[in-house]
Amino acid sequence: MAQIAATLWLVVGAALLGRSFTELKAVDPGFNPERVYSVHLAIPRTKYPKDRDVAAFGDRILERVRVLPGVVSAGLVNRLPLAGGAQTGQIEFEGVEPSLLGLNNVDYRSVTPDYFRTMEIPMVAGRAFTEADDAASLVAIIDSRLARTAFADANPLGHRVRIPAAGLPWLRIVGVVGHIRHDRLEEDVRPQIYFTFKQRTQDRMALAVRTQTDPTAIAGPLVAAIQSVDPEQPVYDARTLDAVVARSLGQRWLQTVLLGSFASIALLLANIGVYGVIAYAVGQRRREFGIRLALGARRGEIVTLVLRHGAMLFAIGAAIGLASAAASARVLGSLLFHVAAFDAASFGLATAILFVVALAACGIPARRAAGVDPSVVLRIE
């Protein structure tokens, strides 16, 4: 019974984490990671000391990459979604009291014009950046969450926004894009504001490339294209965007796999344990079964008798296990995503799985009990 209780406790936990992981994988990150390859660039300021040098270097890379066979579009961004790292700060809107918005933690993004197309981040209103938006263009794009926070249902296009620091200009909002999840899929905490790469140049950038087919096929030509612009340019953390998303789920996946593995081992041990207990009980009651059969009992009744004994053991152990799982569910709740700690489906599924395992463990002893030869048993006695 204790073994059944402990096993059910583990299986309930595994079922909860499994459902949670499934829910998490179904979350829309706000962009399409399919057929996108990404690399990171550390542009050396010793070689490109001025912002315009960095911007020109980025333009040359994009020119070489866009003409590669199979490339649909390419764009640069200072922080790739779900890849780790963040650049945040305050913003303010002209004519709006900053304290009313609470916009003290907004993601800053520097992007090239084709970035939104490459990531398939939808344009909600207005336009994307263009090649005409150079360092002198005082324009910005905000995401839909930021637009709702600052303007509710009003049109944000044409309004002005800026980073509240000395000497930084007001920027005119020319577009609104969809909101994305940047840090983790299970967290959706910050809105985003986008600046043109030429206007807010940075030397730590990620290059995203959307391809027509398998994105890994572009890996070699992509690095070659970058190094054709500068043979000494370092490239690191190269991977598909699908792999970036999968890596962001790594910890959740590990938790699910570990608890699932423990639960599987516990199920096997429970199966062996239940089989041992029932087989021993059948051996002790061979004479009883022989007498019952001699007196006219049907073999199906003997099977039912053995299975009923196994079901009683399961019921007691399951009751203890469910109570233990319910008591510890609040602790596990901190690891769950869109799944209640007392999720009825998970508790029911875990109980059903263990019941089937226990029933299967009782099957062989039950058949042996039904196969007892009354004449042999009575002769021995």
How does pLDDT run across 359-372, given as a tens digit for each residue?
A: 777 766 666 665 65
Angle between helices 250-284 and 241-248 (to 10 degrees): 60
How does pLDDT run across 92-117, given as a tens digit for each residue?
A: 888 776 665 566 788 999 999 999 99
How does pLDDT run across 222-232, given as a tens digit for each residue?
A: 999 999 999 98
Angle (CA) 59-83-35 rounded to 5° is: 65
C-beta neighbour count of 60 within 10 angstroms: 15
- Mean pLDDT, range 24-28, rounded to an integer: 85
For position 190, what pLDDT does the model report? 86
Q: Taking the model in full, what pTM does it have?
A: 0.79
Distance between CA 330 and CA 333 in Å, rounded?
5
Angle between helices 299-332 and 250-284 (to 10 degrees): 150
Distance between CA 281 and CA 105 in Å, rounded?
66
How does pLDDT run across 192-231, given as a tens digit for each residue?
A: 999 999 988 988 999 999 999 899 999 999 999 999 999 9
HSE of 347, CA atoms in CB hemisphere, 13 A: 17
- Mean pLDDT, range 234-251, rounded to an integer: 89
For position 286, what pLDDT does the model report? 61
Q: Where are the domains of the chain?
A: 2-26+250-380, 45-233
Distance between CA 132 and CA 242 in Å, rounded?
32
Burial class (CB in 10 A: 0-12, 13-18, 19+), 99: exposed
